Structure 1
Amino acid sequence: MKSSDAILMTGCDKLHNATAILSDLRNDGLSVFDRFTAGREDTLWYYGELARALSTRAPTAQAKRLAETVESLRSETGRLMTGG
């Protein structure tokens, strides 16, 4: 089981990564997912599961921000896919 410090570091890293993906998605469009071997759906799933796990294990403001960022990723992806 990870220590509280390890969970905090993991959460910080994943929040930073998700925020960078969201920024790139807004700037570059759906092609941002081309850089991930897992592809769009699995990348969104992965970050969603990380957000859920972090919120369950350490329900902090950081976990909330990660969940909000993942929701923004999903929303922006959907908007771009439908041309909205």
Structure 2
Amino acid sequence: MNAPKLTERFEAALIYATRLHATQTRKLGNVPYIAHLLSVAALVLEAGGNEDEAIAALLHDAVEDQGGKATREEIRQQFGEQVVEIVDGCTETDITPKPPWLERKTRYIEHLRYASPSVRRVSLADKLHNARSLLAEWQQQGDVIWSQFNGSKEDTFWFYQSLVQVFRETGSDRMTEELSRVVSQLFQQG
């Protein structure tokens, strides 16, 4: 397999994402949000993703967290229809305030069952990085981490188990198996 060529579009997306999320930090660890986006893009590329998927990985939370429909339109104009379709597929909601947690998560899981391989790849990379981060923080801080999330520990476990099931149903790979291992470790220990 040939490595995807990353062009000026990827560089522009990196700058755009860095600026868009400049004041945002992760819920856990007080880490600049761009670190998550870079990790997701790296996982996508390591899994054989193309440039559009890598760009979408950098922008996968932009619509939901940084401007809704107006940001979506900027992404479409700057990076094209394919990128915005992947971002749309990874977006739980573009409504503020967000709908209730369980409603969003249930709809997202059902959507993933029929999502394109590109959407599933970016979503899987996102969820894998989130699960890795959760596990690392849980190992350092214990159950106190669950108070920083909208869903309970049990709800979060249900969500991640459901994700593993959907990703396995739609074609298991190395990332899916790692997600399964990390989720098992996180919730067996907790």
- Write the letter of the residue equivalent to 1:21: L
The structure 2 residue matched to 1:28, chosen from 137, 141, 146, is: 141
Q: Who wins on radius of gyration, i.e. which is larger?
A: 2
The structure 2 residue matched to 1:61, chosen from 170, 174, 185, is: 174
1:2 and 2:109 are equivalent in the alignment: no
Counterpart position of 2:24: none
Cα-to-partner distance string for 1:10-43 (whole Å, 9 max, x where unaligned): 0000000000000000001001111111111001
Whole-angstrom CA distance in 1 between matches of 2:183 and 2:165: 10
Whole-angstrom CA distance in 1 between matches of 2:165 and 2:146: 21
The structure 1 residue matched to 2:150, chosen from 23, 37, 43, is: 37
Whole-angstrom CA distance in 1 between matches of 2:188 and 2:143: 12
Counterpart position of 1:81: none
Alignment RMSD:
0.8
The structure 1 residue matched to 2:161, chosen from 48, 52, 63, is: 48
Q: How many residues align?
A: 77
1:72 and 2:185 are equivalent in the alignment: yes
Cα-to-partner distance string for 1:30-57 (whole Å, 9 max, x where unaligned): 0111111111100111011101111111
1:11 and 2:124 are equivalent in the alignment: yes
Q: So what's the TM-score if we normalise by structure 1?
A: 0.87
- Write the letter of the residue equivalent to 1:68: R
Unmatched tracts of structure 2, length 5 or more: 1-113
Whole-angstrom CA distance in 1 between matches of 2:162 and 2:123: 13
Structure with the largest fraction of helix: 1
Shift of 1:58: 2.0
Q: So what's the TM-score if we normalise by structure 2?
A: 0.40
Unmatched tracts of structure 1, length 5 or more: 78-84
- Write the letter of the residue equivalent to 2:133: A
Whole-angstrom CA distance in 1 between matches of 2:118 and 2:127: 14
Whole-angstrom CA distance in 1 between matches of 2:175 and 2:169: 12
Whole-angstrom CA distance in 1 between matches of 2:151 and 2:172: 27
